[in-house]
Structures are given as C-alpha cells and as structure tokens.
Amino acid sequence: MPILAYREALNQAMSEEMRKDPSIFLMGEEVGFYDGAFKVSKGMLKEFGPMRVVDTPITEAGFTGVGVGAAMVGLRPIIEMMTFNFAILGLDQIINNATKLHSMSGGQLKVPMVFRGPNGSAKRLASQHSQSLESLYCHIPGLKAIAPSTPKDAKGLLKSAIRDNNPVICFEAQALYGTKGEVPDGEYTIPIGKADIKREGKDVTLIAWSKMLLLCLQTADFLAKEGIDAEVVDPRTLRPLDMETILESVKKTHRVVIVEEAWPYGGVSAQISDRIYYGGLDDLDAPIERVCGEDCPIPYAKNLEEAALPSSEKIIAAVKKVLYLK
C-alpha cells in the first residue's frame, strides 16, 4: 500500500470525488492560489479551476453561508475552515441554517456539505488558535462529525462525508497533516458512524480520536512495559457515535479512560461516558476516567501549554486509577 501523508489523503479524497461529481466544489481562505494554508488543497486549483476551488476573502460568516445556500439548491460544497477557531465566525450559518433547514422545511431542503479544517492546539499558538471545539458541533442534531486520526481513515471518511446528504464536520489537526500512513490503493470509503479498534488489549479501554488517538497508542506502548494491556478505540466519528464497538470493548476490559484534547466541561468524552454508563454500567469495575485539556484557555508559554494538554503521564495515571493500581 502506498504511504501517504494525512494531508495528501485528504487531497485525494476531495480530488477523486470532485472528478466524479461536478456539483462538488471547495471553498475557503487560501485554498486556491496559495494551495491551502496547510497545503491540503495543493494542486487542486490547477486541476479544477477557480470556479471549483474558490478562494474567499476572510469572511467566514459569508462563505459559510454561501456554502449552505449553494447546498440548498443542489450543490455539494466543501467549506475549508483555516482553523475551527475561525469557524466560530460562521457558526451561525452552521447551527442556525445548515442543521435546521432540512427539519424546518419539513424535509424539503437538504444541505449536503462538508465543513473541514484543523481543530485543536498546534504548539505555542496561544488561546485563540488552539481550541478543540468538537463538542460545540457534536451537540447539534442535524450535524454529523468525523475526526479521523490516520491518513487511511482521513481519506475514507472524508469521501463518505462528501457523499453524505447531511452537513458533516471534519475535524483535522495541524499536527496530523504531516503524519504518514498506509492508504489503500484505489476506491474505498470508510462509513461514518463506525469506530475502529486501533490496538487490541484486555486490561483497559482507551478511547480517543484525532491526534489524541496517536498519543494513546504511544501511551499504550508505555503501559505495555508495565504489564498493562490497553485496548485503544478510535470512534473516528463523533456523531453519530458507534457505541456498539465501544461497549464491546468495555465489556472486555471493564475499565475506561477517555482522552480528549478539549476542555472537560460538556466535552465529547462526557457524552461517551454518559453512553457507557447508560449501556455498559454493569460491565464497569471502576468509574470512567476522562483525561481532558485543563479547564483554562491554552497559554502560550511552553511549560504552561504542555501542562494544559493531555499527556502520556496523565493518561497513565488515569489508567492506574481505573485499574486500582497505586
């Protein structure tokens, strides 16, 4: 299998779909002439031209709404957010329009579109550029949300998102764009709403997505040296959640640590916890531990930023707690 960078996998997903379906276009800041702020859309302007790879001014509310409006009348926009911090400016369009129109029109309108871009911290960017905002979106019925952690998942899931007839948010991460991995040759998709067990284990279930998934895999190796066999589950889709796979794992390990870069209050990990308590209470031998970002804006200073984010040390401590180890 070819080895691709995460950003290349995303590029392939979009390009392949755009070749097949002329109603798909990519719109956002710097997606065209600049080749993408993070080079995800590299070369796409050249291939598809400026009507399908559309540079916008810095106008998130405007182009997000333009995307929704275009979707209402039959196009399939991909709206690139330079980061999800900026997408907040377009949040009205996503929450009040994209997620409401199908229901509010009694099913007459559809909004088949993708909002995608990097989410979360990316080293020393300080408070306004480091936020993990997935819970904001996952709260909203009408939206689907994916958060792939590997190039293979990124391509397969983004293709599914583009083909989906609902608005789908795709959370990427700056730290992931350069990561490499095997990507199958040829056509494939990964279904939305299907989790993946990234590492099998029997002692504890670690649940994480996007770049926290990589941290968990690394941490699982550390744990293995201490004789703790961690299973790492990647939900991949944050809404709808694949609770079946998660609960199967819980049934096996009886202990859960959920790792989320975002803040703890009302986080996606809280939602997953809730669903585990609901569906797997009798399988739990310990309360679920959540390792989240600390409940503060992400600071700039190196030591403070590191302290604010989940780490292997924090995960290991949480694992030992659910295993009742000192």
Nearest to 31 by CA among 77, 94, 72: 77
| Residue ranges with strand state E in the chain | 3-5, 24-28, 53-55, 76-80, 113-118, 144-146, 167-172, 180-182, 196-199, 204-207, 230-234, 237-239, 256-260, 289-292
| From 102, 129, 260, 261, the catalytic residue | 129
Q: Which residues bind other proteins (CB under 8 A)?
A: 25, 51, 56-57, 59, 61-75, 92-93, 96-97, 101-110, 112, 141-142, 144, 164-166, 254, 281-286, 324, 326
Cis peptide before 240 (omega within 30 of 0): yes
| From 8, 17, 29, 60, the catalytic residue | 60
Write out the two tokens for 239: 């809404």
Cβ proximity to other proteins: between 183 and 256 the closer is: 256
Cβ proximity to other proteins: between 215 and 257 the closer is: 257
Catalytic residue list contains 60: yes
Cβ proximity to other proteins: between 154 and 168 the closer is: 168
Cβ of residue 181: shortest distance to other proteins, in angstroms?
30
How many other C-beta atoms lie within 10 A of the C-beta of residue 133?
19
Distance CA 287, CA 125 (A): 34
Alpha-carbon separation of residue 80 from 4, 179, 198 (angstroms)? 21, 20, 28
Cβ proximity to other proteins: between 225 and 326 the closer is: 326
Cβ of residue 95: shortest distance to other proteins, in angstroms?
9
Cβ of residue 57: shortest distance to other proteins, in angstroms?
7
Cβ of residue 21: shortest distance to other proteins, in angstroms?
13
The residues annotated with a catalytic role in the active site are 60, 129
